[in-house]
Structure 1
């Protein structure tokens, strides 16, 4: 039997069925496509122009809060501000212990203030601290040099036009992160940092300090004192990697100054403690200065005649470094 062309009525039925199927499929496909787009991170070409925001940024450590003051004119430069050894989990102390936000409010640079990291040295640790039952392993270097820049890039912040500044623990970490991530940072500053941690007694002092600040086991950070990880994180040792970097380095004398007015027993204790910590930082910083000098690497130094290890002095030093920061990041 010869098969002929389908009759017109058959062809019409098939077309109607095809259109009906398409009508069912298209809304489903549209729904799937809409979900994918909604889940994607928005990519902005410019950062917001001014304003303050708190965001939660995904990381291997879980969501990390980051406080952000956006560049006043939507520029792509950013300054990371690192906290000290007793970093809190609710706010970065630069946001409330100092007037950092006011200092840079009219400048074309975004302030990036990560929250947390007590006793971390903002480093990638080997394992969780077993002394205090830490849930996960600190991975702060990964966060600050990969995960956080990934997020900031979606908000218009450059991956390569950044500065980093910290005090005490954060000062040492700022130089470490800048040294190993030169493609990210054009400026680094250490305020009262510990920049010669291979000096006699320093590793033991760090161990004691971290036990006092959260009962952290320093061996979970860089391993035993003879581990190469200690050398990797010692600014005195990796100093050659800092060549060509714009740097601001300071430490005060440890003598009480204009902001020290103890009136109670706890005030006197805190002042004495601040004096000792600052004197130790000064010895470290002076040694680091000599090291850079022998290598022919320039930096801006400031050694105030008075001042202890406390926030009002670091606020002043941030103000002293501000012009150099803006110039290095072309953010005036």
Structure 2
């Protein structure tokens, strides 16, 4: 009981502090999860936590209403083992399906088990399929309204900090489509995320090859229209959202990036632990994943070269094998932990 009260006091203190300093978070009533204060939390921009679903002592789902998208989205949180003091936040993004499909960190890896003893809040957003988690210029007939960079960078953090009593220290990681997104989020708001980890992400978007990879994700797989995202292919927004062109703004951020080379490896066998498709479909799926990962490898090496030119340190992992699949991302997340931890635990 004392443990619960200590955690709750921390969360209440953080909430009051946010309301006084930022002038944007309203009072909230406590719910029955250690250190969580969430009912009716509201920010100055009009976003708010609509509801809290306590799943167990460590897992909570926040239903967060985005003012920018005028829609409520689930946000799953793994709470720290010890909530007796404010803890940092790792935002962990899923891939192209946005976590609304079966391709999620929780379902396909042991990532949450690995992170469970790290004394951090792990925040997973459920939504934004095929959106590149960016701010689209207009509503799309298929993919709807997408203002995900605003949601992740501006709307969500003050609500998370107020509800969870976190300490305002953040890192972000994402795979595949979200790899592009986490780089761009760090670029858009330098210093907000102290560490960034990219697993098989596209690091460039504005050259013809990068544009083809982005358009394949949004249009072929998602059914959307990239003209509603960043305009026509010659629109300056493509360059504005190109991590390589804007890499200077990553200076001071702890950076990790990993990729395979497209050659099938240990996690590409039919019927394997991390295969999502029926075994008879594995050869075709692996072939497609190999092509994707080869492109990712090329893009990642270009980011590596660009950061070297700028004198920005970063950690790059190039695996000898591996296609675009979950087993490798599970390994990569664990490899990235020292980089993520450097930002989450170290003084700025």
Normalised to the residue count of structure 1, the TM-score between the two structures is 0.82
Corresponding residue to 1:137 among 145, 149, 152: 145
CA deviation profile, 1:191-225 (whole Å, cap 9, x unmatched): 11101223332213322331222201011111111
Rg larger in structure: 1
Corresponding position: 1:94 with 2:121: no
Q: Is the 8 A contact 1:47 1:76 kept in 2?
A: no
Corresponding residue to 1:58 among 65, 79, 88: 65
CA distance in 1, matches of 2:335, 2:299: 21
Taking a change above 3 Å as real, the CA distance of residues 154 and 42 of structure 1, as seen in their structure-2 partners, is farther
Secondary structure at the aligned position of 1:222 is classed as coil
Q: Is the 8 A contact 1:67 1:92 kept in 2?
A: no
Deviation at 1:286, TM superposition (A): 0.2
Corresponding position: 1:67 with 2:76: yes
Corresponding position: 1:83 with 2:114: no
Taking a change above 3 Å as real, the CA distance of residues 280 and 92 of structure 1, as seen in their structure-2 partners, is closer
Q: Is the 8 A contact 1:159 1:184 kept in 2?
A: no
Deviation at 1:91, TM superposition (A): 7.1
Secondary structure at the aligned position of 1:163 is classed as strand
CA distance in 1, matches of 2:328, 2:57: 27
Q: Is the 8 A contact 2:59 2:76 kept in 1?
A: yes
Which residue in 1 is equivalent to 2:177? Answer: 169
Corresponding residue to 1:311 among 323, 326, 336: 326
Structure 2 unaligned residues grouped into runs of 5+: 1-25, 37-55, 272-278
CA distance in 1, matches of 2:137, 2:257: 29
Which residue in 2 is equivalent to 1:30? Answer: none
Corresponding position: 1:268 with 2:276: no
Q: How many residues align?
A: 289
Structure 1 unaligned residues grouped into runs of 5+: 1-38
CA RMSD of aligned residues (A): 2.2
Q: Is the 8 A contact 1:92 1:114 kept in 2?
A: no
Normalised to the residue count of structure 2, the TM-score between the two structures is 0.78
Which residue in 2 is equivalent to 1:253? Answer: 261
Which residue in 1 is equivalent to 2:28? Answer: 41
